[in-house]
Structure 1
Amino acid sequence: MWLNIDGVNILIDPGPGSLVRIFERGFDTRDIDVIVVSHRHLDHCADLNSVVESASESKKNPKDMLVCPSDVVEGEDPILLKYLRKALREYKYIGENVEIPYKNIKILGTVKHIHQGAETYGIEFHSKNKKVIYVPCGRFYEGMLEGYSENADLMVFNTTFPVKTEGYYHLSAQDVEVMLHRYKPKKAVITHFSIAMLKADPEKIAARLSRKTGLPVIAAYDGMRIDF
Structure 2
Amino acid sequence: MEITFLGTGVAIPQLNRVQSGVLLRLEDKPLLIDCGSGVLSRFPEAGVSHTEVDTVLLSHLHLDHVADLHPLIKANWLRGSTSMKVYGPEGTEEWFLKVLDAYEYLQEEVDVDVIELFPGEAFTPDGFDCEISCTAASHSVPTLAYRVIGEDGEFVYSGDTEPSRKIIEFSADVDLLIHECSFPQGMKVTNHTTPSTLADLLEESDVEIGTICLTHFYPDMQEHEKETINRLKRYFEGDVILAEDLMKLEL
Deviation at 1:131, TM superposition (A): 0.8
TM-score scaled by length of structure 1: 0.84
The change in CA–CA distance for 1:128 and 1:180 in structure 2 (over 3 A counts) is farther
Q: Give the distance between the partners of 2:240 and 2:154, measured in 1 at CA.
A: 17
Aligned to 1:91: 114
Deviates more, 1:176-185 or 1:28-37: 176-185
The change in CA–CA distance for 1:59 and 1:89 in structure 2 (over 3 A counts) is farther
Q: Give the distance between the partners of 2:89 and 2:119, measured in 1 at CA.
A: 10
Describe how 1:8-47 pairs up with structure 2 within 5 A. 8-47=29-68
Describe how 1:201-220 pairs up with structure 2 within 5 A. 202-220=225-243
- Does residue 68 (structure 1) correspond to residue 88 (structure 2)? The answer is yes
Runs in 1 of length 4+ with deviation above 6 angstroms? none
Query: 1:108 corresponds to which letter in structure 2?
Result: S
Deviations 1:80-101 (A, max 9, x none): 5245566345322222101121
Deviation at 1:72, TM superposition (A): 2.6
Query: 1:14 corresponds to which letter in structure 2?
Result: C
RMSD (Å) for aligned C-alpha atoms: 2.5
Q: Give the distance between the partners of 2:134 and 2:111, measured in 1 at CA.
A: 20
The change in CA–CA distance for 1:79 and 1:29 in structure 2 (over 3 A counts) is farther
Query: 1:138 corresponds to which letter in structure 2?
Result: T
Deviation at 1:120, TM superposition (A): 0.3
Show structure 2 runs of 5+ residues with no match.
1-21
Q: Give the distance between the partners of 2:144 and 2:171, measured in 1 at CA.
A: 14
Aligned to 2:25: 4
Q: Give the distance between the partners of 2:175 and 2:43, measured in 1 at CA.
A: 24
SS of residue in 2 equivalent to 1:74 = helix
**Residues 92 and 114 of structure 2 are in contact (CA less than 8 Å); yes or no, is this contact kept in structure 1?**
no
SS of residue in 1 equivalent to 2:235 = helix
Q: Give the distance between the partners of 1:53 and 1:121, measured in 2 at CA.
A: 25
Which residue of the other structure, out of 184, 192, 198, is the alignment partner of 2:222?
Answer: 198
Aligned to 1:125: 148
Identity of aligned residues (%): 23
TM-score scaled by length of structure 2: 0.77
Q: Give the distance between the partners of 1:130 and 1:150, measured in 2 at CA.
A: 13
**Residues 8 and 33 of structure 1 are in contact (CA less than 8 Å); yes or no, is this contact kept in structure 2?**
no
Show structure 1 runs of 5+ residues with no match.
none
The change in CA–CA distance for 1:79 and 1:227 in structure 2 (over 3 A counts) is farther
The change in CA–CA distance for 1:5 and 1:38 in structure 2 (over 3 A counts) is same
- Does residue 106 (structure 1) correspond to residue 127 (structure 2)? The answer is no
Aligned to 1:81: 100
Aligned to 1:185: 209
**Residues 99 and 107 of structure 1 are in contact (CA less than 8 Å); yes or no, is this contact kept in structure 2?**
yes
Q: Give the distance between the partners of 2:237 and 2:80, measured in 1 at CA.
A: 49
Deviations 1:82-139 (A, max 9, x none): 45566345322222101121231122112x12322x2101111112342110011122
SS of residue in 2 equivalent to 1:10 = strand
**Residues 131 and 150 of structure 2 are in contact (CA less than 8 Å); yes or no, is this contact kept in structure 1?**
yes
Matched residues, number: 222
Deviation at 1:11, TM superposition (A): 1.1
Q: Give the distance between the partners of 2:194 and 2:249, measured in 1 at CA.
A: 22
